Amino acid sequence: MQGRGRCGIRVTMAENSRSGQGGSAAAAALAPDRSLEYVLGHAGTPDKFCAALAKLFGVRQKEVALLRLEHGLLKFLFPEQLKTAGSIPVSSSSSVAAHTASAKKTELFNSFTKVRHARVFETVKLSTPEEEGADQEHTAIQKLMSAPVLTPERKVLGVIQISRKGFDANSAGPDFTTSDVQQLELAAKVAATLSFMVANSK
């Protein structure tokens, strides 16, 4: 069963059906005496910020993307390999990141392969030393959360995306939950205060 359309949060109703894996890794990822705001707020670079997000959501670093809006274009700050792969016009009709920025709403897709989207950036190799093997590069995004980074005045600074990749939905891991969405939206609020997001954004 599918939830609301692209103008709001979309979530499959089976998101909590798996036992043993759970939805959010947020509680386990953070030390008891450290809040989410503290951990992310002290990440001074896009790489450190996204590494913290990866631990928070229990995903690989290559499954985190951070984009900054510059002169009508969304440009990748992370992963490193996508910095030179091109940019996304915020007016693009085929980009989920562009839609998130223009709608200024968080989107959740637990059946992402069914969503029409540009796949050009998925073809870029994102190998990192901690990855298990080259075969992981042939996996596709199966599940995705996409959140706008907004100032208090609701000016768009960029977009954060968390994905789960796999050969199919089951191999990608647990569905994202509404609790994960809330954590991502909080992370986006922290991102809006960090210098690497504010610089050059228009």
Residue range(s) defining the domain that contains residue 79: 35-126+140-198
Nearest to 67 by CA among 109, 100, 103, 113: 100
Three-state SS sequence of the chain: CECCCCCCCCCECCCCCCCCCCCCCHHHHCCCCCCHHHHHHCCCCHHHHHHHHHHHHCCCHHHEEEEEEECCEEEEEECHHHCCCCEEECCCCCCHHHHHHHHCCCEEECCHHHCCCCCHHHHCCCCCCCCCCHHHHHCEEEEEEEEEEECCCCCEEEEEEEEEEECCHHHHCCCCCHHHHHHHHHHHHHHCCCHHHHCCCC
Question: What is the tens place of the pLDDT at every residue in 35-80?
Answer: 888 889 999 999 999 999 999 999 999 999 999 999 999 999 999 8
Stated length of the chain: 202
Residue 187 lies in a domain: yes
- State residue 21's pLDDT score: 44
Q: How confident is the model at residue 8 (pLDDT cuts 50, 70, 90)?
A: very low
- State residue 65's pLDDT score: 95
- State residue 69's pLDDT score: 97
State percent of the chain over pLDDT 70: 70
- State residue 191's pLDDT score: 97
The model's pTM is: 0.77
Residue 13 lies in a domain: no
What CATH number corresponds to the domain at position 158?
A: 3.30.450.40
Residue 4 lies in a domain: no
Question: What is the tens place of the pLDDT at every residue in 89-120?
Answer: 999 988 999 999 999 999 999 999 888 755 54
- State residue 36's pLDDT score: 82
Residue 18 has pLDDT above 80, yes or no: no
Residues 23/180, Cβ–Cβ less than 8 Å: yes
Residue 2 has pLDDT above 70, yes or no: no
Task: Give the count of domains, the chain.
Answer: 1
Contacts of 98 (CB under 8 A, 6+ apart): 74, 88, 89, 90, 91, 92
Residue 153 lies in a domain: yes
Residue 25 lies in a domain: no
Residue 54 lies in a domain: yes
155 vs 4, higher pLDDT: 155
